Structure 1
Amino acid sequence: MARQSITLANQNDEWLKEQVSKEEFTSKSEAVNYLIKQAREREEYHHYVQMKIDRGLKSGFSTKTKEELLVEIKSRLNV
């Protein structure tokens, strides 16, 4: 693992110390790594959702009725 030296705001340092003292994490480094991992996962999910939105927007508007769409969706789900 890469070793880093970072400066934290006092309130963030206190929060990290509290998490370690409550045994939520074994060290401040573990807590920071966990938080970074969570941020990366959120970012990946955001990109995934944005890709789905873009795909939907590019597909245009449907000319099918609600009933036709419902039949199509149910057939895809084998309901």
Structure 2
Amino acid sequence: MSRQSITISEPNADWLKAQVESKEYSSNSEIVNDLIRRARRQESLETEVIRALLQEGIDSGSSVLSPAQIRQNVRDRQQVDE
């Protein structure tokens, strides 16, 4: 595993400390790795949704939505899911 040195804001440092103290995580590294995994998973899901919507448009023969509108629809759906 690669070691990294990062600088974080005081509020974020306080949050990390609280997570470790609550025994939710055992270390700051565990928290950061979990956050990165979640972000990567979310990014992958967004990509899958965009591909599916684009394929749906292709399969329909035509789409009235622009790529920007499709991206916005994805963002809107994500907000509903959260």
With normalisation by structure 2, the TM-score equals: 0.72
* Counterpart position of 1:77: none
* Counterpart position of 2:41: 41
- For residues 11 and 57 of structure 1, the distance between their equivalents in structure 2, rounded to whole angstroms, comes to 44
Letter paired with 1:46: E
Structure 1 residue 59 displacement after superposition: 1.4
- For residues 29 and 54 of structure 1, the distance between their equivalents in structure 2, rounded to whole angstroms, comes to 37
- Larger Rg computed on CA atoms: 1
- For residues 19 and 8 of structure 1, the distance between their equivalents in structure 2, rounded to whole angstroms, comes to 15
With normalisation by structure 1, the TM-score equals: 0.74
* Counterpart position of 2:30: 30
Structure 1 residue 22 displacement after superposition: 0.1
Q: How many residues are aligned here? A: 61
- For residues 13 and 40 of structure 1, the distance between their equivalents in structure 2, rounded to whole angstroms, comes to 22
* Percent of paired sites with the same residue: 39
Question: Which portions of structure 1, spanning 4 or more consecutive aligned residues, are displaced by more than 4 angstroms?
Answer: none
Gaps of 5+ in 1: 62-79
